Amino acid sequence: MNEDIWSSFSERVTYDGRFHATCEFAPLPDSAALALLNDRNVSVLTAVAALVEKRAETPEDDTTVTNELSRLDAKLNVLMEIVNRLLLPQADLPPRIALRFNASGAVLPWDGLPAVGQPVLLRIHFDVCRALPLELPGQRLAGPSDGRGFIGFQGLSEHVRDAIERLVFRHHRRQVAEARLAGRPMEGG
């Protein structure tokens, strides 16, 4: 099964970047805690998508008002969660690490990772929403042998997996668009 998870990860588009992130030993949460974690993760992913998404709508779009209200709702939810977390003592952000992830798993540096086979919790802090980490339970699995380790996610709901895939796809689409724009000659020059 471990090879299936690595294969699934390797065959999909990934989000590559440098994130404030930690990966620590943590037993897989029970079903009630996992349901709460999945709900929080959906909220974080919705907020990140709303905060990162650039407006590309036309005035003729009938769903413009609906989309804008959804974005405002997500932003308000983020602000409320930030206020809640600020009322509690909060540790500094972890250092940035190179991280590649999709809905199947993540590849990150070996340094400090638990041993292969151990259950872990990967926390990823996005710059647009640093106070709300994406918390992904999983297991340290065999993966690349180039100084990086592989975490296969476990217990993620279908909604979380879909939201991660949308985030990864949109990020990849933005990178492709930016690369195309960078490759075009400037007009008038």
pLDDT in tens, 138-183: 999 987 767 788 999 999 999 999 999 999 999 888 888 888 888 7
CATH topology of domain 1-183: Thrombin, subunit H (2.40.10)
Mean pLDDT on 7-15: 89
What are the residue boundaries of the structural domains of the chain, listed by start? Answer: 1-183
**In angstroms, rounded to a whole number, what is the distance separating the alpha carbons of residues 93 and 167?**
22
Task: Choose between 58 and 105: higher pLDDT.
Answer: 105
* Residue 89 pLDDT > 50: no
pLDDT tens readout for residues 20-52? 999 999 999 999 999 999 999 999 999 888 777
Task: Write down the pTM of the prediction.
Answer: 0.78
Note the pLDDT of residue 156.
Answer: 96
Determine the distance from the C-alpha atom of residue 31 to the mean position of all C-alpha atoms in its chain, rounded to a whole number. 22
For residue 77, give every residue at least 6 positions away whose Cβ sits within 8 Å of its Cβ, in sequence order, or none: 43, 46, 47
Residue 20 in contact with residue 94, Cβ under 8 Å?
yes
Residues 6+ apart with CB under 8 A from 43: 77, 81, 132
Helices (H), the chain: 2-10, 31-52, 64-86, 158-183
Distance CA 168, CA 46 (A): 13
* Predicted confidence band of residue 58 (pLDDT cuts 50, 70, 90): very low
Residue 110 CA to residue 145 CA, distance in Å, equals: 10
Q: How far apart are CA 180 and CA 183, in angstroms?
A: 5
